[in-house]
A and B are shown apart, each in its own frame.
Chain A
């Protein structure tokens, strides 16, 4: 681990009891959902992580505990460092407190999480779907969401399939 990163990781461990994983020089810190806002604020204010580079999630279906990891990729321009925070979430009613108060970029990123994974950002100022149409059912980037191939129609079952095919009818 980078020497400069060690003090930051230590501070995270003391304050929030995070566990650390390292892979190919990257540091991933696992934070509990209730601590995430405090952790982001600490990193932003005390350790100059001005930029929330990326924010997304990974689905570990069929595993249910944890089902998701929400990923916060943080960058410090002043110190030229990166750290990744990960919040494990259980299946059922996954939700995270919104980070829009800390980084405004989280606004659209959390809408994307809501849209694509069904992870609810609690207290979000504008919780609408962002990429999919409003009437979409389900959350496409979940692993149990089918890729959605078109059902092939043949002469003998054309009408039967036509009835349940999801396209606009007159």
Chain B
């Protein structure tokens, strides 16, 4: 075990300006326990008075080795870890992982499962944006928005609990379909939410969008142009706030997005306000998708009947020897996947969530890599905070919508 070394300025010499070495500017540590860092992010700031000269993000405080752990589990069991990455978008993570597995072993998914996946993913997107809006308001001292947003988010979590028995760590979407069908109360619960929520979004907007104190903190702050965004691999609402119309749901429709009628909001200002307004608009668009999916929810099975990859339903196990054998084999050994690699990406609330899944012919993956949107979105931070005040850093950081579990994996 190596000795813990005292951290010295020499380590950061190439990242700060020369004035820091003479003591003309100040180095200030922000985080990892700072409330506005949304978890455990540390930012080393070089300050000239209150103006930021350089910012050096330091990540890894929440590193849990999920990629490594997934390599040691079968494909079915590894899915449980995917929830723990981006804990604001658990259904979306399940979806990204399951789509990668389905692509790797070439598995079909029934129509009903796709529709339910669609409803839940879009509800999860709203829930994630609600938490973001809550924290964003809180960082800018709008406390009441925080309370309202969490109240509405609770309704979505209740729907998730109704389906999966869990509020957050659902593991509801499984390779080849879903864990089980939704209960009968599901439709009423979602319809309740659909009729209740639009008025609430208006309420948030009434509190924030034209509030001069709020606008003063946002307009023209943290500007990012499209070229910088693409160079830094920024995706999702942040990229669309900089004027690039790129949404995987439209560009490369998966899960049947091409059958739904919705818009992708795009703004060109690239500042913190654009990133705020885009997410509010996205919540309204997601509602449209949920409503359409619910209206045409088809009947039928929710799991593929390819028994080589998908465990049989409980009712079959009691009466069919073959089903019992499949059940036993799938949960003890798992299924072998080809010795090949696939990359499958979905649009998470934060951007492109990609899974690079590589099989080695056995029942465990050789490599699972998560291309997480927060990681790349955060890497642009030093570029866009330069020259702003420390208080603006809080607003900019909040507008990036980072989830540390997503960054550190």
Q: Which residues of A contact B (CB under 8 A)?
A: 23-24, 26, 28, 50-54, 56, 58-60, 71, 73, 77, 80, 82, 84, 103-105, 107-108, 125-126, 128-135, 137, 140-141, 143, 145, 147, 166, 168
Q: B251 interface residue, CB < 8 Å from A?
A: yes
Interface residues of B in 370-396 (CB under 8 A from A): 371, 375-376, 379
Q: How far is the CA of A130 from the CA of B62 in the complex (A)?
A: 12
20 A–B contacts from the bound complex (CB under 8 Å): A24-B103, A26-B341, A28-B341, A53-B371, A54-B343, A54-B356, A54-B369, A56-B369, A59-B367, A71-B341, A77-B230, A103-B231, A104-B232, A108-B379, A131-B63, A133-B60, A135-B2, A147-B68, A147-B72, A168-B4
Q: B204 interface residue, CB < 8 Å from A?
A: no
CB pair A108 B376 closer than 8 Å: yes
CB pair B60 A132 closer than 8 Å: yes
Q: B342 interface residue, CB < 8 Å from A?
A: yes
Contact among B1, B340, B369 with A23 in the assembled complex (CB-CB below 8 Å): B340
Contact among A54, A73, A104 with B231 in the assembled complex (CB-CB below 8 Å): A104
Contact among A71, A105, A135 with B233 in the assembled complex (CB-CB below 8 Å): A105
Q: How far is the CA of A147 from the CA of B106 in the complex (A)?
A: 30
Q: How far is the CA of A13 from the CA of B358 in the complex (A)?
A: 25
Residues of the A chain whose Cβ atoms lie less than 8 Å from the Cβ of B409: 131
CB pair A147 B69 closer than 8 Å: yes
Q: How far is the CA of A33 from the CA of B343 in the complex (A)?
A: 22
Contact among B11, B59, B103 with A131 in the assembled complex (CB-CB below 8 Å): B59
B347 to nearest A CB, angstroms? 12
CB pair A54 B371 closer than 8 Å: yes
Interface size on B, residues (CB 8 A): 47
CB pair B63 A105 closer than 8 Å: no
A129 (CB) vs chain B CBs: closest residue: B60
CB pair B343 A84 closer than 8 Å: yes
Q: How far is the CA of A132 from the CA of B371 in the complex (A)?
A: 18
Q: Which residues of B contact A (CB under 8 A)?
A: 1-5, 11, 14-15, 59-60, 63, 65, 67-69, 71-72, 103-104, 106, 230-233, 235, 244, 246, 251-252, 340-343, 345, 352, 354, 356, 358, 366-367, 369, 371, 375-376, 379, 408-409
B359 to nearest A CB, angstroms? 10
B407 (CB) vs chain A CBs: closest residue: A131
Report if A73-B343 is in contact (Cβ < 8 Å); known contacts: A131-B60, A132-B60, A141-B67.
Answer: yes
Residues of the A chain whose Cβ atoms lie less than 8 Å from the Cβ of B5: 134-135
CB pair B14 A24 closer than 8 Å: no
Contact among A28, A60, A82, A125 with B14 in the assembled complex (CB-CB below 8 Å): A125
Residues of the B chain whose Cβ atoms lie less than 8 Å from the Cβ of A133: 60
Contact among B11, B352, B366 with A128 in the assembled complex (CB-CB below 8 Å): B11
CB pair B231 A23 closer than 8 Å: no
Residues of the A chain whose Cβ atoms lie less than 8 Å from the Cβ of B63: 131-132
CB pair A105 B232 closer than 8 Å: yes
B246 to nearest A CB, angstroms? 5
CB pair B15 A126 closer than 8 Å: yes
CB pair B230 A51 closer than 8 Å: yes
CB pair A131 B408 closer than 8 Å: yes
A75 (CB) vs chain B CBs: closest residue: B352
**A53-B354, A58-B358 are known contacts; what are 19 more A-B pairs with Cβ within 8 Å?**
A51-B235, A54-B343, A56-B356, A56-B369, A58-B367, A59-B366, A73-B343, A73-B354, A77-B244, A104-B379, A105-B379, A107-B379, A125-B14, A132-B60, A133-B60, A134-B5, A135-B2, A141-B68, A145-B68
CB pair B68 A140 closer than 8 Å: yes
Q: How far is the CA of A130 from the CA of B232 in the complex (A)?
A: 16
A23 (CB) vs chain B CBs: closest residue: B340
CB pair B375 A108 closer than 8 Å: yes
Q: How far is the CA of A59 from the CA of B67 in the complex (A)?
A: 13
A127 (CB) vs chain B CBs: closest residue: B14
Q: How far is the CA of A39 from the CA of B342 in the complex (A)?
A: 21
Q: How far is the CA of A28 from the CA of B383 in the complex (A)?
A: 32
Residues of the A chain whose Cβ atoms lie less than 8 Å from the Cβ of B14: 125-126
A92 to nearest B CB, angstroms? 20
Residues of the A chain whose Cβ atoms lie less than 8 Å from the Cβ of B1: 135, 137, 166
Residues of the B chain whose Cβ atoms lie less than 8 Å from the Cβ of A73: 343, 354, 356, 371
